[in-house]
A and B are shown apart, each in its own frame.
Chain A
């Protein structure tokens, strides 16, 4: 086995390459030896979860150089949102990360609400939390199914997508759409929860822990899975923080950090859940963190179901929230409000805010600037996938080409969110 020579580091004891933290450069003595093969991995490759291009330099099977090239899915969401009124712009963020759509919607709506300073009814807050945790399960299922598929565990994919479909059925029941639900409005929810949803959701809560047992039985004791994940893609706690990693990647590196617990939003301070932390910082740890997070999410959904408050689902602020449909036939005021909000939109006070939530991929942030008008002046998303890909070079240091897919897959990136 060829041993790669010492590389310059960004600081003592770190694995982050220097001088460019996101690029693994071929060492000089290998480059002049001309025994390096450059391989283009992607942009179109089934295991890149979208359109990611990795330029990999190989010395035998050893990866000695790596650069991630992104931007193939750049669609200008942020530019588009500047041209839309606040309430129409809510439709956009969901499409940025198409696997955890509710979170992007939530973080943007929370930013609007922070600028407006409006109170959200308790029922809406709890319902948002419930749906977001279902989305976390959904997102982790998609990750687990595809990551296992890439390593050859094909049956996992079918099992995961079986449960994923049940989550999508629940979304369809409550919002009318399976994905990209646009259910959160500034001020609450678009509609009340339909009858029958809580019963269906309770069935899912009962079924899901058994399904997770099944997954674990299938791969957790599989020697192939263990050998292909353990001790690979190492990332130390210090490097993870320096590289801005968050979510399961950070927790798998031994940092006990979860925004749901550290800066509680929605009603997370009122529910009981555990934050799984693993110390090894390898692919296997990231897998374990996600598996346990699914169990915790089921627990949160269960608590939300039992304690779901009644009452209004959206605030009664007619300058921001559409009036109830039936009032339009009898009330002139309501008709005017409806007309104004639909045509002109509501105005959001001048200012800038940065709101963060813990999405399935980590710290999802939304920076919003308003000039006081009916359209956002600037919207910027802090995409956890974008930041996770920056760590590819560090994780791939001293790895072999066969482990590339396992390592990149374990960062759980969604390319729509990376490129925005």
Chain B
């Protein structure tokens, strides 16, 4: 499938047999409409955000030394330290699309944003994005511009912080002991 016509295309890459189409965040809705109308991706399977804070902060050494990892057991490739390839911005939001037709083609539409930058909402393109985007806001603090109901969904309404961020510690909730005021 040809993704060169996607509006705002930054790059289209192939890895592990999956296609990732990275687009400019401000032109996401255009790209989404193009993918749905021109290429037939009518089914939004998932919206997955990820936080890359601290990514490549320390080297990874061990058995696997090649990006593909295909020569897992090749002796000369083991034990070298290497760094993961750095990312352009802190957060990625991946829209996993599926076309409901034979062959079940899939594509990952991806945008990258920094903390505080907004991503345009795609609820008008795929209504199912409603809750997915609320979840990404709740757990990562990524703002979705134009979302009709931008509230928290899993955490309480008055929760502070966004728990799936990398700088939010596990067990970050303070514990109160009896006898403590």
| Residue positions of A touching B, CB distance < 8 A | 10, 16, 19-23, 70-71, 74, 76, 78-80, 83, 114-118, 241-244, 255, 257, 259, 262-263, 317, 319-320, 344, 346-354, 356, 363, 365, 367, 369, 371-374, 377-378, 380, 382, 386-387, 389-390, 419-420
| Residue positions of B touching A, CB distance < 8 A | 15-18, 20, 42-46, 48-52, 55-56, 60, 62-64, 66-70, 72-73, 82, 84-85, 94, 96, 98, 100, 102-104, 106, 108, 123, 126-128, 130-131, 148-149, 152-156, 163-164, 170
Q: State which of B48, B56, B163 has its C-beta within 8 Å of the C-beta of A367.
A: B48
Q: State which of B46, B67, B72, B155 has its C-beta within 8 Å of the C-beta of A365.
A: B46
Contact B96 A354 (CB under 8 A): yes
The smallest beta-carbon distance between B160 and chain A, in angstroms, is 15
CA distance A387 to B94 in the complex (A): 17
User: Would A76 and B163 be within 8 Å (CB), given that A70-B154, A353-B18 are in contact?
Assistant: yes
Contact A242 B102 (CB under 8 A): no
Q: State which of A10, A371, A387 has its C-beta within 8 Å of the C-beta of B56.
A: A371
Residue of B nearest to A111 (CB): B16
In addition to A351-B67, A377-B55, 9 A-B residue pairs with Cβ atoms within 8 Å of each other are: A71-B152, A74-B154, A78-B164, A241-B42, A262-B102, A317-B72, A369-B50, A371-B56, A387-B128
The smallest beta-carbon distance between B127 and chain A, in angstroms, is 4
Contact B170 A319 (CB under 8 A): no
Contact B46 A382 (CB under 8 A): yes
CA distance A356 to B152 in the complex (A): 26
The smallest beta-carbon distance between A334 and chain B, in angstroms, is 15
The smallest beta-carbon distance between B168 and chain A, in angstroms, is 8
Listed by A's residue number, 13 A-B pairs whose Cβ atoms lie within 8 Å are A20-B130, A20-B149, A21-B130, A79-B163, A117-B68, A117-B72, A241-B100, A347-B64, A349-B66, A352-B20, A356-B45, A356-B98, A420-B154
Contact B123 A21 (CB under 8 A): yes
Q: State which of B63, B84, B96, B103 has its C-beta within 8 Å of the C-beta of A350.
A: B84
The smallest beta-carbon distance between B61 and chain A, in angstroms, is 9
Residue of A nearest to B138 (CB): A71
Residue of B nearest to A22 (CB): B130
Contact A19 B148 (CB under 8 A): yes
The smallest beta-carbon distance between A371 and chain B, in angstroms, is 5
User: Which residues of chain B are within 8 angstroms of A367 by Cβ–Cβ distance?
Assistant: 46, 48, 94, 96
Residue of B nearest to A10 (CB): B127
User: Which residues of chain A are within 8 angstroms of B17 by Cβ–Cβ distance?
Assistant: 114
CA distance A409 to B55 in the complex (A): 42
Contact A348 B64 (CB under 8 A): yes
Q: State which of B16, B49, B63 has its C-beta within 8 Å of the C-beta of A351.
A: B16
CA distance A153 to B120 in the complex (A): 48
CA distance A380 to B46 in the complex (A): 9
CA distance A354 to B152 in the complex (A): 25
User: Which residues of chain B are within 8 angstroms of A389 by Cβ–Cβ distance?
Assistant: 131
Contact A354 B55 (CB under 8 A): no
Contact B69 A349 (CB under 8 A): yes
The smallest beta-carbon distance between A399 and chain B, in angstroms, is 19
Residue of A nearest to B51 (CB): A378
